[in-house]
């Protein structure tokens, strides 16, 4: 007998979405000149109109951030700055359900994830960095490290509020002020965060939010009043930013793409591993730069793992992101859906074998069934390029050395997973893997104390932990220290 889940819809009445939004500059919302729509990707309903930031908007935001830096924020003690961060963290917790519902509406990700992962981690990032604000002298970064000034921060659509927290919390804790641009398809939670800044009575101009597209982002990157860039997004845009700042003294952290290897050795506990594989690739619809998108299985257990994985995939519930039972929500945009479809078609054409469980997808909105490709080889594009969707490429290996060589054979180096019951094998493999984050017998675990970042085309620098603070501080001679 099969049993069906009754719908368990989260109410959206807790959020109030305005018909249009201006930018948040110098503590106030100011109208934009042109607007563009933001949609609910699960239904294609237009949620609101968002301002398209112009050069003049960016100029005003940078001027406000500069003034706030000089007059207020850089003069304030770390202890006082910390109090604002604690206040923001507590308000975020109080308003967590509102943020979770809004994020789900604007992004398409399941409420279970926004409620249990995104928003709690957002608050955790503010709490964590609040604690650092008055202890920077003891962070091991030298005596009296100093902020840069105004940070320009550009974030993607896959974890909209969480990426904001990764950027804003360390910047404020270290005494920098901020001009942030959310991604064009997911600005709403950043604009609600602007209301939280008002509610926390954060001094005007410390956080400025200018909405818009890539041209607005480029204007921020090229603005002479910006001293540090923090970017998360595609490798393609990351390269453009690196080129744009190459002849300047702007500092940058770039969190770019990935093609994470999830390696399963023959002694791995198979049932737990299957859960980890599902979490590695289907969490957040696979819109995760550190997703375990390449499954590398030891040949002797490959058939068993694939068989169990397929059974498990038939249980993934795809559907209304506001339903508390939903595991896999909507793809964030039509453009992203097209990209996923195109690369998957390349997988078919290259001879890999595609499999998805039967699932009925809504006609409205942007949907892609959970998918695996078996028989993938190193030469296939789906083994090399980031699909950024719920699509897993499966490869096999015979010897541990072969697993490492395959895992490292991409232009990226962001994340990797190792599944084995042998501690010595886990340590050996983690030392060979060229990836910034390596999980053992788990996947996609995040913590504000843990530095995150990549090697090779996955980016520059680290976010989170002490390493993340360093990216916002001048240390040693740079700070003027003798």
Nearer residue to ligand ADP within complex by CB, 330 or 407: 330
Of 50-58, 120-128, 237-245, 449-457, the window that binds ligand ADP (rule: CB under 6 A) is 237-245
Q: Does 61 bind ligand ADP (CB under 6 A)?
A: no
Which member of 255, 385, 457, 463 is catalytic? 255
Q: Got the DSSP string for 233-252?
A: S-HHHHHHHHHHHTTS--EE
One residue of 218, 270, 316, 426 binding ligand ADP per CB under 6 A: 218
Indicate the residue among 128 and 231 with the shorter CB distance to ligand ADP.
231
- DSSP β-bridge partners for residue 339: none
Residues 157-176 that bind ligand ADP (CB under 6 A): 157
CB 189 within 8 Å of CB 106: yes
- Determine, following the binding rule CB under 6 A, whether residue 385 of this chain makes contact with ligand ADP: no
Among residues 90, 240, 434, 456, which is the contact residue for ligand ADP, using CB under 6 A? 240
Q: Is 324 helix (H, G, I), strand (E, B) or coil?
A: coil
Q: Is 233 in the site for ligand ADP (CB under 6 A)?
A: yes
290 catalytic residue (yes or no): no
Binding mask 67-96 for ligand ADP (x = CB under 6 A): ------------------------------
Residue among 190 and 383 whose Cβ is closer to ligand ADP = 190
Q: Edge to edge, what strands does the sheet with 391-397 contain?
A: 353-355, 371-374, 391-397, 294-298, 261-264, 415-419, 437-440
> Is the distance from CB of 306 to CB of 374 less than 8 angstroms?
yes
Half-sphere exposure of 367 (CA within 13 A, CB side): 19
For residues 90 and 251, the answer to whether their CB atoms sit within 8 Å is: no
CB closer to ligand ADP out of 152 and 276: 152
**Which stretch of DSSP H or E encloses residue 89?**
helix 78-94
Find the binder of ligand ADP among 123, 237, 337, 383 (CB under 6 A): 237
Q: Is 80 a catalytic residue?
A: no
Nearer to ligand ADP by Cβ, of 155 and 383: the residue is: 155
Q: Binding of ligand ADP at residue 30 (CB under 6 A)?
A: no
Q: How far is the CB of 227 from ligand ADP (least distance, A)?
A: 16
Residue 221 sits in the site that holds ligand ADP (CB under 6 A): yes
User: What are phi and psi for residue 255, nearest 5 degrees?
Assistant: -105, 110
Quick one: which of 184, 255, 323, 385 contacts ligand ADP (CB under 6 A)?
184
Could you say which DSSP state residue 155 is in?
Answer: -
State which residue, 234 or 430, has the beta carbon closest to ligand ADP.
Answer: 234
Pairing of strands 391-397, 294-298: parallel
Dist CA 81 CA 2 (whole Å):
55
Residue 245 touching ligand ADP (CB under 6 A): no
State the residue number with the nearest CB to ligand ADP.
217
Name 298's Cβ contacts closer than 8 Å, sequence gap at least 6. 264, 265, 266, 396, 397, 398, 403
336-360: b (≥16 Cβ within 10 Å) or e: bbebbeebbeebeebebeebbbeee
How many residues bind ligand ADP, per CB under 6 A?
Answer: 17
156 lies in the site for ligand ADP, by CB under 6 A: yes
Interface contacts to ligand ADP, rule CB under 6 A = 154-157, 181, 183-184, 213-214, 217-218, 221, 233-234, 237, 240-241
The residues that are catalytic are: 255, 289
């Amino acid at each position: 007998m099969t049993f069906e889940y009754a719908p368990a819809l989260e109410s959206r009445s807790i959020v109030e979405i305005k018909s249009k939004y201006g930018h948040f500059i110098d503590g106030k919302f100011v109208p934009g000149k042109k607007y563009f729509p933001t949609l609910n990707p699960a239904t294609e309903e237009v949620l609101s109109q968002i301002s398209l930031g112009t050069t003049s908007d960016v100029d005003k935001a940078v001027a406000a951030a500069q003034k706030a830096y000089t007059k207020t924020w850089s003069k304030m003690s770390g202890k006082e700055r910390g109090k604002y961060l604690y206040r923001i963290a507590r308000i975020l917790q109080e308003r967590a359900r509102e943020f979770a519902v809004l994020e789900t509406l604007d992004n398409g990700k399941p409420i279970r994830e926004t409620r249990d992962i995104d928003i709690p981690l957002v608050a955790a990032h503010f709490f964590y960095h609040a604690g650092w604000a008055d202890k920077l002298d003891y962070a091991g970064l030298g005596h009296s490290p100093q902020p840069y000034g105004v940070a320009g921060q550009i974030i993607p659509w896959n974890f909209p509020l969480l990426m904001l927290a990764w950027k804003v919390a360390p910047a404020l804790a270290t005494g920098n002020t901020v001009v942030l641009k959310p991604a064009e398809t997911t600005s709403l939670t950043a604009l609600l965060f602007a209301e939280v800044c008002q509610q926390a009575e954060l001094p005007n101009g410390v956080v400025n939010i200018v909405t818009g597209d890539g041209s607005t982002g480029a204007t921020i990157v090229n603005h002479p009043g910006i001293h540090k860039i923090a970017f998360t997004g595609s490798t393609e845009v990351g390269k453009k930013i690196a080129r744009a700042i190459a002849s300047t003294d702007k500092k940058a952290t770039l969190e770019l793409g990935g093609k994470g290897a999830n390696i399963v050795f023959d002694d791995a506990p198979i049932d737990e591993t299957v859960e980890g594989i599902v979490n590695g690739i289907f969490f957040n619809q696979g819109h995760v730069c550190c997703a375990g998108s390449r499954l590398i299985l030891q040949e002797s257990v490959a058939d068993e793992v694939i068989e169990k994985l397929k059974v498990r995939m038939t249980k993934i519930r795809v559907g209304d992101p506001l339903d508390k039972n939903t595991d896999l929500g909507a793809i964030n945009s039509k453009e992203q859906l097209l990209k996923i479809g195109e690369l998957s078609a390349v997988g078919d054409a290259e001879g890999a074998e595609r499999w998805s469980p039967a699932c009925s997808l809504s006609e409205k909105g942007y949907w892609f069934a959970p998918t695996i490709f078996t028989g993938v080889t190193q030469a296939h594009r789906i083994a090399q390029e980031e699909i950024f969707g719920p699509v897993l490429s499966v490869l096999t290996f015979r010897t541990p050395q072969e697993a490492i060589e395959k895992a490292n054979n991409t232009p990226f180096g962001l994340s990797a997973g190792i599944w084995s019951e042998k501690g010595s094998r886990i340590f050996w493999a983690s030392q060979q893997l060229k990836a910034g984050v390596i999980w053992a017998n788990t996947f996609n675990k995040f913590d504000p104390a843990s530095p995150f970042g990549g090697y090779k085309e996955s980016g520059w620098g680290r976010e989170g932990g002490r390493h993340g603070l360093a990216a916002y501080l001048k240390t040693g001679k740079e700070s003027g220290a003798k």
